[in-house]
Amino acid sequence: MPDIAVRPATPDDVPLVLAFIRELGKYEKLAHEVVATEELLAEHLFGPQPRAEALIAEWAGLPVGFALFFHNFSTFLGRPGLYLEDLFVRPSHRGRGVGRAMLRELARLAVQRRCGRMEWWVLDWNAPSIEFYRRLGAGPMSDWTVWRLTGEAMNKLADERR
């Protein structure tokens, strides 16, 4: 059995989490969109009102991956859900059970916290991840379209007069 450990991130891990986010951005061909800073991550992961949590995966004590998640809420279920924002394993350790170990820990947390579901997005071109998720028993929600409001459009709507 490989020496894989999954643990909660600590404030000391903020630089590591940011490094993983940057590596993920590069892998997803979205590095230009990564504007997170250590200060922002420290505030939102460990500040007075944490908005998200992170796990660190280690192989023989070496950090090799992370998962960042938060809770959402299902009105239909009347229960919280666990939303996985990012899951990343360094290429050198893919296919060794690290991703599965992180998802197993997330599922354990979801059950422990009485969540009704776990959800995440995956890029359409990311065939290795899609196959990995299918093997776990997950499936796409092809009848839903993701919508997003950001930047100037979000600011404009927020500033509208009633």
| pLDDT tens-digit map of 6-52 | 999 999 999 999 999 999 999 999 999 999 999 999 999 999 999 99
Please give the pLDDT value at position 162. Answer: 67
Residue 1 has pLDDT above 60, yes or no: no
pTM score, whole prediction:
0.92
Phi, psi of 126, rounded to the nearest 5 degrees: -85, 70
CA–CA gap between residue 25 and residue 11 (Å, rounded):
22
pLDDT tens for 85-109 read 999 999 999 999 999 999 999 999 9
When divided into structural domains, the chain yields a total of 1
Instruction: List pLDDT tens digits, range 116-154.
Output: 999 999 999 999 999 999 999 999 998 998 899 999 999
Q: Tell me what pLDDT residue 45 has.
A: 98
Instruction: State the Cα–Cα distance between residues 61 and 21, nearest whole angstrom.
Output: 20
Weakest mean pLDDT among 63-67, 68-72, 130-134: 130-134
pLDDT band at 161 (very low <50, low <70, confident <90, very high): confident
Q: What is the CATH classification number for the domain harbouring 13?
A: 3.40.630.30
Q: Looking at residue 41, what DSSP letter applies? A: H
Which of 5, 94, 133, 157 is catalytic? The answer is: 133
78: which residues sit within 8 A by CB, 6+ positions away?
116
Report the pLDDT value the prediction gives residue 56, as an integer from 0 to 100.
Answer: 98
The 3-state secondary structure of 73-88 reads EECCCCEEEEEEEEEE
Q: Which range has the worst mean pLDDT, 1-5, 52-56, 62-66, 78-82? A: 1-5
Q: Write down the pLDDT at residue 108.
A: 97
Q: Is 83 tagged catalytic? A: no
Residue range of the domain that includes 153:
4-159
